[in-house]
């Protein structure tokens, strides 16, 4: 079945919308949060746990999978879904963000990017065509164009040059993409300059991608500036296409972006924080290593229905974490992902009931200081 997107409900007080993405591997209810599975795995989570959490779609990283295990291994096993034993949808990024994050290890030309592996220093080259070809080999349901992730801070002149290069690459990605079973998304660039963002959007709409992503955020720019740009861009973006904010974010980030009509999100925050002992609860964040939890026999979050909160005490979870036990990462990650997925479920329900602002008010009280 080909890719499609339908809006099912709109919140009357905001620009938020509830919808459904149709992919060849099933429907995805939006707004949706996509856990990050960098190297073909969500860290500390076997696929059985992801299925138990009813995760709809995960994100995998083209750059890391290209370097290890490599294209030959994944292709020989029938693609990333079979390699991972994961039957639900996957989104792969293009590898651009990771390539450009190693500023001392890469060289940019119009043809693409020459870079060194962070694993062994070996030299590699990514062009827009090669990125798309590898993503087609991976077989993800949604793939991303190869773009230049503009750093922050940056001058307007440099941001414009970077954006225009990304737009030329966008056309090359669209020209070479030939798998009708995959949806290729375009990525807006332009750093913190609204006029450049608008120009990028116009060019992507001319190319006519089935979905659009906002890239280049969460790279060091002030949060309020990111919010302002997203709010201004919402009115300009097509209403009939899914909108994906890449690399965002905190619970308050998600709620703000949903209010601006955004549909898809990914971020390492819930899983990375879990491994570092920071847990999300209905009353704010908890740092489980704190001494105040040493004798705390209560559940991590009395309002949470995940298996961790139903079974284990804060005292025990603290003991596991400070002892360096592997299972601490597993339990903490399970809980944090459950929290995020439960939040997205509440968001979808609130949109249908026109009560999203009330839900946001509750979370703002609990997370305003630590957001």
Spatial neighbors of 49 by CB under 8 A, at least 6 apart, are 330, 334
Pairing verdict, β 113-116 and 123-126:
antiparallel
Omega before 249 within 30 of 0, i.e. cis: yes
Spatial neighbors of 221 by CB under 8 A, at least 6 apart, are 152, 191, 192
Annotated catalytic residue within 11, 141, 253, 266: 266
Query: Is 11 one of the annotated active-site residues of the chain?
Result: no
Spatial neighbors of 259 by CB under 8 A, at least 6 apart, are 11, 14, 15, 16, 356, 357, 360
Query: Is 93 one of the annotated active-site residues of the chain?
Result: yes
Annotated catalytic residue within 93, 141, 147, 263: 93
Which has the closest alpha carbon to 367: 339, 334, 345?
339
* Phi, then psi, of 81 in degrees rounded to 5: -60, -50
CA distance 270 to 243: 21
CA distance 206 to 195: 17
CA atoms within 13 A on the CB side of 223: 11
Q: Is 212 helix (H, G, I), strand (E, B) or coil?
A: strand
Q: CA torsion, points 270, 27, 254, 367, in degrees to nearest 10?
A: -50
Pairing verdict, β 278-281 and 284-287:
antiparallel
Which are the catalytic amino acids? 93, 266
């Amino acid at each position: 079945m080909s890719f499609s997107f339908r809006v099912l409900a709109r919140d009357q007080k905001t620009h938020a919308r509830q919808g459904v993405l149709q992919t060849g591997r099933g429907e995805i209810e939006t707004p949706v949060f996509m856990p990050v599975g960098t190297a073909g795995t969500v860290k500390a989570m076997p696929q059985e746990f992801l299925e138990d959490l009813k995760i709809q779609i995960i994100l995998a990283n083209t750059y890391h999978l290209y370097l290890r295990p490599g294209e030959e291994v994944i292709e020989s096993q029938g693609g990333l879904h079979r390699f991972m034993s994961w039957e639900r949808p996957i989104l792969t990024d293009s590898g651009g963000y990771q390539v450009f994050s190693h500023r001392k290890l890469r060289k940019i030309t119009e043809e693409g990017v020459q870079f060194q592996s962070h694993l062994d220093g070996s030299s590699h080259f990514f062009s827009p065509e090669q990125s798309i070809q590898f993503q087609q080999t991976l077989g993800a349901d949604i793939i991303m164009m190869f773009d230049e992730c503009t750093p922050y801070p940056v001058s307007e002149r440099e941001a414009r040059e970077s954006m225009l290069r990304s737009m030329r690459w966008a056309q090359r990605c669209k020209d070479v993409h030939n798998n009708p079973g995959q949806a290729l998304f375009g990525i807006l660039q332009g750093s913190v300059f609204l006029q450049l963002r608008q120009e990028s959007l116009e060019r992507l709409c001319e190319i006519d991608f089935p979905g659009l992503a906002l890239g280049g955020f969460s790279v060091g720019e002030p949060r309020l500036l990111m919010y302002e740009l997203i709010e201004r861009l919402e009115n300009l973006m097509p209403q009939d296409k899914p909108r994906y904010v890449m690399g965002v974010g905190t619970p308050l980030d998600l709620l703000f972006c949903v209010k601006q009509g955004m549909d898809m999100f990914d971020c390492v925050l819930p899983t990375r924080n879990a491994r570092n002992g920071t847990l999300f609860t209905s009353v704010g964040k908890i740092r489980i290593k704190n001494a105040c939890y040493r004798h705390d026999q209560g559940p991590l979050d009395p309002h949470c229905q995940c298996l961790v909160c139903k079974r284990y005490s804060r005292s025990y979870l603290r003991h596991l974490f400070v002892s360096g036990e592997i299972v601490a990462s597993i339990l903490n990650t399970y809980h944090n992902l459950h929290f995020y997925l439960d939040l997205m479920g509440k968001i979808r329900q609130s949109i249908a009931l026109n009560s999203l602002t009330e839900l946001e008010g509750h979370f703002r009280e609990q997370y305003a200081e630590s957001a």
